[in-house]
Amino acid sequence: MDTYSRKRSAPKEPFDSEPAAKEKFNYISSRVRISVEGFSHGRPTDEIKSELINHFKSCGDLISVEVPTDPILESRAFVNYHGHLAKERALQLNGSDIGNWKALVKFAPREEDLDYQVSLRYHRSLYSDLANDKRFWYGIAVLGYDTSLPEDQVKSILTEHFSSCGVITHVFVCTPDECTNIYFSKKEDEASAMDLNGSKVGGFKITTMLLATAISNPRLAPGDEPTVGYSIPAPFLEFAREINKKRDDYMTEWRVKARRERVIKARREQAFKAS
């Protein structure tokens, strides 16, 4: 899917306030997605995209236009808006002429797409597996150590420093944030590690803080609004890139399989009609 998009500024108020939480929720929930059919797939996608932008930009706050690059998998283009008023205005263009073709315009919630549903289910399953992984239920963040050291050395030094607290299940060194997350197998081990707040590591006074985990910050249920004090569990942030790659790899295989099945189905239908 080839996409045109422009950047929008996210809510600027800190997320630790009630107004900011509601603003972010309303901002996301007010997005509208419209599908458009009727164009010829033999034309360049840039040409189709330009026509759609010019035709639909007057309906509201246009975020992006997506034009399919594989007509076998997807025959629709999508126009994305911010604001519910754009939905009604765009739907009024159903049947209108765009150049030499007539537009079939429909409301298309992303939640109705099979591709989206498959991706969402798999994505959620990966995060669910991570949330249920006991290795990441208890942990602390450590700051204040010598950040000039290489990551492997930081990991080794901090592992040794906190080894007396209990069984360490995972250590994640985040160099950009100058912080290291250390996870333990038990709640009491986590408490023992917190007691080392203010201790010295290689002459540096360290600070320890409790991490947001799947235990201390359970995942929001679908449709729930974020509340003040909620934090995304630290492991979700640590493994986000890895999880996204797994999802993308899975969806690549799924799309290839779906395309193959559609081609086979189309050939069977053609053969049936010809017989």
SS3 84: coil
59 vs 55, 93, 96, 116, 226, CA distance in Å? Answer: 9, 9, 14, 25, 30
Contact yes or no for 162/182 (Cβ under 8 A)? yes
Q: Cα(181)–Cα(16) distance, rounded to whole angstroms?
A: 22
Domain 2-112 CATH superfamily: RRM (RNA recognition motif) domain (3.30.70.330)
Three-state SS sequence of 94-112? CCCEECCEECEEEECCHHH
- For the chain, the farthest-separated pair of C-alpha atoms sits apart, in whole angstroms, at 84
SS3 61: strand
Give residue 6's pLDDT. Answer: 43
Q: Cα(177)–Cα(181) distance, rounded to whole angstroms?
A: 11
- Look up the pTM and report it: 0.60
pLDDT in tens, the chain (275 residues): 554 444 333 334 444 455 555 555 444 457 889 999 888 766 788 889 999 999 999 999 999 998 876 554 467 889 999 887 889 999 999 999 998 899 999 998 766 778 878 987 898 899 999 999 999 999 999 999 999 999 999 999 999 999 999 999 999 999 999 999 999 999 999 999 999 999 999 999 999 999 999 988 766 655 455 555 668 889 999 999 999 899 999 999 998 998 898 888 888 888 887 77
Give residue 9's pLDDT. Answer: 36
* Helix axis angle, 240-274 to 114-131, nearest 10°: 150
The reply to whether 138-210 shares the fold of 2-112 is yes
Tokens (6 digits) for 111: 């939640």
Domain residue extents for the chain: 2-112, 138-210
Give residue 275's pLDDT. Answer: 72
63 vs 25, 29, 33, 56, 58, CA distance in Å? Answer: 17, 14, 10, 11, 12
The count of residues in the chain is 275
Give the bridge partners for 97, in sequence order.
Answer: 102
Class of domain 138-210: alpha beta
Which residue type is seen at 124? R
Give the strands of the sheet with 168-174, arranged side by side: 168-174, 179-184, 138-143, 207-210
Tokens (6 digits) for 43: 């034309």
Contact yes or no for 32/84 (Cβ under 8 A)? yes
